[in-house]
């Protein structure tokens, strides 16, 4: 996982990859594919913007306390999070807008920098100045190893956003 992107050897997704019953959004060289209850395909050239709304962000001590409490309560069998956080991928196309549900891939929350830089990368996809193939190439080169640390993820996102 790098920012809002789940990068594997063979695919790039916004948020977690789709499961049997979980929706998802796959990013390809040609465009964006929604998988799940609202399937659809959009070409990058037809898009005005793609944004992610509702990504869990680590910003305040209160949020961190809440996440810690969720983990503790879950471990005690007294509640806690039901599953991954839901995010909305807002697609603005020449023929209208669509809101697509995806699940967060972050264990907890993203850093504010990851979210901002991820949006800059999405803007470059829409503008045609960067291809998801660059992220896929990184995924192939690094395999399915561990997720980089936050500072490494932000540096990688910054490279993609500014290259």
Tens of pLDDT, residue by residue over 47-89, are 999 999 999 998 756 545 555 655 555 556 565 556 789 999 9
pLDDT given for residue 78 in this prediction: 60
pLDDT given for residue 143 in this prediction: 72
pLDDT given for residue 147 in this prediction: 85
pLDDT given for residue 163 in this prediction: 82
Which contacts of 117-121 are long-range, i.e. CB under 8 A and separated by 24 or more positions?
A: 117/3, 117/154, 117/157, 117/158, 117/160, 117/161, 118/3, 118/4, 118/5, 118/52, 118/157, 119/4, 119/51, 119/52, 120/157, 120/161, 120/162, 121/3, 121/5, 121/157, 121/160, 121/161
pLDDT given for residue 63 in this prediction: 46
- Which residues does the chain have with pLDDT short of 70? 60-82, 144-145
pLDDT given for residue 57 in this prediction: 94
Distance, in Å, from the CA atom of 111 to the CA atom of 152, rounded to the nearest integer, reads 12
């Amino acid at each position: 996982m790098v920012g809002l992107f789940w990068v594997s050897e063979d695919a790039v997704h916004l948020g977690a990859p789709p499961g049997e019953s979980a929706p998802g959004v796959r990013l390809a060289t040609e465009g964006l594919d929604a998988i799940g209850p609202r399937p659809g395909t959009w070409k990058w050239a037809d898009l005005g913007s793609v944004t992610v709304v509702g990504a869990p962000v680590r910003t305040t001590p209160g949020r961190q306390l809440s996440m810690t409490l969720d983990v503790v309560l879950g471990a005690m069998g007294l509640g806690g999070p039901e599953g991954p956080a839901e995010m909305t991928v807002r697609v603005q196309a020449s023929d209208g807008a669509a809101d697509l549900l995806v699940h967060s891939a972050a264990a907890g929350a993203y850093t504010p920098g990851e979210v901002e830089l991820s949006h800059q990368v999405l803007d470059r996809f829409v503008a045609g100045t960067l291809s998801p193939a660059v992220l896929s190439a990184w995924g192939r080169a690094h395999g399915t190893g561990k997720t980089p640390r936050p500072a490494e993820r932000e540096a990688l996102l910054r490279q993609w956003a500014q290259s």
